[in-house]
Amino acid sequence: MDGGAAATAQSYRIETAGRVSRAAVIVAFVSLLVLVLLPVFAGRNVIQDLIFLFYMLALAQCWNLLAGYAGLISVGQQAFVGLGGYLLFALTLLGGINPLLAIPLAGLVSAALALPTALIVFRLRGAYFAIGTWVVAEVYRLVFAQLKALGGGTGTSLSPSVTSAVPGIEWIKAMLDVRTPAARDIASYWLALVLMIATLALLYLILRSRRGLALGAIRDHEDAAAGLGVDIVRTKLVVYVVVAAMTGMIGGLIYLQKARISPDAAFSVLDWTAYVIFMTVIGGIGTLEGPAIGAIIFYLMQRYLADFGAWYLILLGTLGIVVMLFAPKGLWGLIAERYDLTFFPTRRRLVEGKTGHDTVSISEQL
Partner 1 sequence: MTGWLDALIEGVLLGGLYALFAAGLSLIFGVMRLVNLAHGDLIVLAAFVILVVADRLGLNPFVAVVIAFPILFAIGFALQHVLLNRTLGPDLLPPLLVTFGLSIIIQNGLLQLFSADSQRLRSGAIETASIPLGAGIAVGVVPLLTLLSAIAVIVVLNLIFYRTLIGRAFRATSDDLEVAQLMGIDHRRIFATAMGLAFVVAAIAALYLGLRANFDPTIGPARLLYAFEAVIIGGLGSFWGTLAGGIILGLAQTIGARIDPEWQILSGHLAFLAVLVIRPRGLFPRALD
Determine which residue in the list 101, 127, 228, 350 makes contact with partner 1, applying CB under 8 A.
127
Residue 269 interacting with partner 1 (CB under 8 A): yes
Nearer to partner 1, 171 or 308 (CB): 308
CB count in 10 Å sphere of residue 9? 11
User: Is the CB of residue 136 less than 8 Å from the CB of residue 117?
Assistant: yes
**x/- site string to partner 1, residues 280 to 309, per CB under 8 A?**
-x---x-----------------------x
Residue 124 interacting with partner 1 (CB under 8 A): yes
Determine which residue in the list 5, 6, 26, 325 makes contact with partner 1, applying CB under 8 A.
325
Residue 123 interacting with partner 1 (CB under 8 A): yes
Residue 318 interacting with partner 1 (CB under 8 A): yes
Residue 149 interacting with partner 1 (CB under 8 A): no
Determine which residue in the list 94, 142, 201, 228 makes contact with partner 1, applying CB under 8 A.
142
CA dist., res. 218 & res. 70, Å (int): 7
Determine which residue in the list 8, 310, 338, 354 makes contact with partner 1, applying CB under 8 A.
310
Cα distances from 99 to residues 107, 110, 246, 253, 357, in angstroms, run 12, 16, 16, 9, 47
Question: SS3 letters for the chain?
Answer: CCCCCCCEEEEEEEECCCHHHHHHHHHHHHHHHHHHHHHHHCCHHHHHHHHHHHHHHHHHHHHHHHHHHCCCCCCCCHHHHHHHHHHHHHHHHHCCCCHHHHHHHHHHHHHHHHHHHHHHHCCCCHHHHHHHHHHHHHHHHHHHHHCHHHCCCCCEECCHHHHCCCCCHHHHHHHHCCCHHHHHHHHHHHHHHHHHHHHHHHHHHHHHCHHHHHHHHHHHCHHHHHHCCCCHHHHHHHHHHHHHHHHHHHHHHHHHHHCEECHHHHCCHHHHHHHHHHHHHHHCCCCCHHHHHHHHHHHHHHHHHHHHCHHHHHHHHHHHHHHHHHCCCHHHHHHHHHHCCCCCCCCCEEEECCCCCCCEEEEECC
Span from 70-78, 250-258, 290-298, 344-352 in contact with partner 1 (CB under 8 A): 70-78
Residue 218 interacting with partner 1 (CB under 8 A): no
Beta carbon of residue 150, minimum distance to partner 1 (angstroms, whole number): 15
Nearer to partner 1, 80 or 275 (CB): 275
Beta carbon of residue 136, minimum distance to partner 1 (angstroms, whole number): 8
User: Residues in contact with partner 1, total (CB under 8 A)?
Assistant: 44
Residue 146 interacting with partner 1 (CB under 8 A): yes
User: Is the CB of residue 135 less than 8 Å from the CB of residue 269?
Assistant: no
Determine which residue in the list 35, 48, 71, 202 makes contact with partner 1, applying CB under 8 A.
71
Q: Are strands 360-364 and 260-261 parallel, antiparallel or unpaired?
A: unpaired
Residue 274 interacting with partner 1 (CB under 8 A): yes
Beta carbon of residue 43, minimum distance to partner 1 (angstroms, whole number): 33
Residue 87 interacting with partner 1 (CB under 8 A): no
Residue 317 interacting with partner 1 (CB under 8 A): yes
Span from 44-52, 102-110, 225-233, 318-326 in contact with partner 1 (CB under 8 A): 318-326
Residue 115 interacting with partner 1 (CB under 8 A): no
Nearer to partner 1, 319 or 335 (CB): 319
User: Is the CB of residue 36 less than 8 Å from the CB of residue 193?
Assistant: yes
Amino acid letter, residue 137: A
Residue 126 interacting with partner 1 (CB under 8 A): yes
Beta carbon of residue 130, minimum distance to partner 1 (angstroms, whole number): 6
Residue 328 interacting with partner 1 (CB under 8 A): yes
Determine which residue in the list 136, 182, 237, 254 makes contact with partner 1, applying CB under 8 A.
136
Under the rule (CB under 8 A), what is the footprint of partner 1? Answer: 67, 71, 73, 75, 119-120, 123-128, 130-132, 134-136, 138-139, 142-143, 145-146, 269-270, 274, 277-278, 281, 285, 309-311, 313-314, 316-318, 320-321, 324-325, 328
